[in-house]
Amino acid sequence: MTRADSIAPRAATAAPRHRAQLRDWAVATALALIVASAAFFVHRNREFREREEHRAHAAAVAVARGEPPVSPVDAAGVVSPATPSPRYPFLRQRTFQPVGEAAPRALGGPCAPALDKLVYDAATRFDATGPFKGFLPDGSGRVVAAVAAPGTPGGVAVAVSTPPSGPEPYPWLTFVGLIGLGGVIAAAGALLGAWRRPTLLALGASGLAVPTLFWTGPWPAAIIVGLTTLVATASARGATDRWAEALRAHRVALAFLAPAAIAMAILVATPFIAGLVLGFYDHDAGSWTFVGLDNFGHILSGGGKGFDDPGNFWFVLGVTVAWTAVNVVLHVALGVALALLLRQPWLRGKGVFRMLLILPWAIPNYITALIWKGMFQSQDGAINSLLDYAGLGGDVSWFSSWSTAFTANVVTNTWLGFPFMMVVALGALESIPRDLYEAAEVDGASPLQRFWHVTLPHLRPALGPAVVLGSIWTFNMFNVIFLVSRGEPGGSTDILVTQAYRWAFERDEYGMAAAYATLIFLILLLWTVFGTKVTRKEGTP
């Protein structure tokens, strides 16, 4: 009787326990599988690169010795040293002795095969840097290799490998086998109970670490073991049970969230993380090389340029901060001033004024920027005509000096930016009870005192967030800089976002551009945290 009593509750709890063990093992295995797959792809790509490079290199070495290439090639042979062309001495000619053909032929010419240029360039690169091997930047997966050819004085043996066969397939069978085995081990742990439960759970999910050891060495394996141990520990302490419980309790909320959350994870998180990672790479003609913190070091050290050089990050940052500060101050000053004018109770045509004054906000800002760029033209721009008309001299070349170009940008951005501040200020002013002013007036407060003690405190809670928002918009006002001054003169009016764009799409330095974007992100993050803290403090009475 007592025996049955003592067994019954254990049996009742045993079933969910098994399920919990299975669940935690599945989570740990999923994590391990992600790491193992990543390790496999790294290994596969490296293997592929080494194999193909070796293939082309071996072919080139064989050609250099005067033997047929040891592996299939698209082109292989010995290139002669460059000699000046008899008719045009500034042109350099090379002849090419393809393997297995009787006589050498000139490289290039009207009917030359497309590969001739590759071979010629490879020989030139060999002359400059010595023996090399590398993938062609055409995405075909072919490798070109060049080594010295001792048979011909100054000659270069060049081989271009054939397009490679497909890479190693994804190791489905290995993974399925290991996961099955791991499942059995974890289940055994659940049956044995006590400390064997988490231990065998970790062991069962760690099986995937074994192939990674052969692929990429100890690091991914260590990560897998670490992750599974973490899950097993959480499982042993009941943390996974609590998480599962929380998931179950909030499953409706999570289901509602899922569409947007999944879309964000794919559309935003992927490029965001890709951007962070790219900052650690150097990009050259389609191939990426890990360079650690070099990009950041290069940017933060100013790239060896002076602080007054537009190529220096700190110069650009200074311009950006000046740009943001000047604009926000002008926007707020103009916006608040206009709002105060529009607040006069005796003013007629308020609605019309308001409608006309927010016109710049309604116009798409790239159109505004293009219009102002036209107006600031030195030849037949409207601004110069106006200046001329006013007798102030109408021949300013707006984009050839920093101060005038910066002014042109600021004028444009103030024109398009003040309505937002004005509208926010108007809204805030409407919320001020009139009694307050009457009371202040009765107490004999001067207009200035009334502004300082009544109006301003009421404006602050609304203007604070608006200033944070406006400063972020201005900090990133790509369109105005890019379309009005184009960074002229010499990139000196560029702000951080347009510089990042130039690194990416004008200089093709993707790694530097990504590092720039990361730094911009960090600056904005700091500013937002700081800004919201300050406005919160002010917002609370």
Please give the residues from 425 up to 464 whose contact with other proteins meets the rule CB under 8 A.
427, 429, 432, 434, 437-438, 441, 447-448, 450-451, 455, 461-462
Quick one: 33 or 429, whose CB is closer to other proteins? 429
Question: What residue has token string 């999944």?
Answer: 262
CB-facing half-sphere around the CA of 176: CA atoms within 13 A: 4
Told to check if 353 binds other proteins by CB under 8 A, we report yes
CA–CA separation, 40 and 438 (whole Å): 77
d(CA 398, CA 387): 12
Cα dihedral 127, 130, 133, 134, rounded to 10, equals: -70
537 near other proteins, rule: CB under 8 A: no
Of 190, 219, 230, the closest CA to residue 28 belongs to 230
How many residues touch other proteins under the rule CB under 8 A: the total is 106
d(CA 386, CA 401): 20
Report, in Å, the least distance between residue 524 CB and other proteins.
6
Hey, how many other C-beta atoms are within 10 angstroms of the C-beta on 289?
Answer: 11
Amino acid at residue number 519: L
Q: Are 414 and 474 in contact (CB under 8 A)?
A: no
Contact status: 298 vs other proteins (CB under 8 A):
no
Residue 525 in contact with other proteins, rule: CB under 8 A: yes
- The residue among 83 and 270 lying less far from other proteins, judged by its C-beta, is 270
In the chain, the N- to C-terminal Cα span, in Å, equals 70
Q: Which is nearer to other proteins, 215 or 415 (CB)?
A: 415
| CB of residue 45 to other proteins, shortest distance in Å | 14
Q: In 3-state terms, what secondary structure has residue 358?
A: coil
Distance, CA of 405 to CA of 372 (rounded, Å):
12
Residues 223-282 that bind other proteins (CB under 8 A): 246, 250, 252-261, 263-264, 267-268, 270-272, 274-275, 278
The answer to the question of residue 285 lying near other proteins (CB under 8 A) is no
- 342 touches other proteins (CB under 8 A): yes
Q: Is residue 479 near other proteins by the rule CB under 8 A?
A: yes
The footprint of other proteins on residues 381-400 (CB under 8 A) is 381-382, 385-386, 389
Residues between 88 and 147 that touch other proteins (CB under 8 A): none
**CA 33-35-36 angle, 5° bins:** 60
Q: Which of 144, 149, 424, 484 binds other proteins (CB under 8 A)?
A: 424
Exactly one of 238, 364, 457, 490 binds other proteins (CB under 8 A); that residue is: 364
CB-nearer residue toward other proteins: 79 or 338: 338
Applying the rule CB under 8 A, the residues between 183 and 212 that interact with other proteins are none
Nearest Cα neighbor of 146 from 46, 59, 49, 48 is 59
Taking the least distance from each CB to other proteins, the nearer of 78 and 459 is 459
- Respond yes or no on whether the N-terminal peptide bond of residue 489 is cis (omega within 30° of 0): yes
The answer to whether 495 contacts other proteins (rule: CB under 8 A) is: no
Among 26, 127, 371, 489, the residue binding other proteins under the rule CB under 8 A is 371
Mark the segment that binds other proteins (CB under 8 A) among 7-15, 30-38, 67-75, 495-503: 495-503
d(CA 313, CA 308): 10
Nearest-approach distance from CB 405 to other proteins, in angstroms: 15
Q: 3 or 248: whose CB is closer to other proteins?
A: 248
Counting contacts by CB under 8 A, is residue 313 touching other proteins? no
Residues 498-517 that bind other proteins (CB under 8 A): 500-501, 504-505, 510, 513-514, 517
The answer to whether 430 and 494 are in contact (CB under 8 A) is no
Question: CA nearest 514: which of 324, 271, 270?
Answer: 271
Total length of the chain:
541
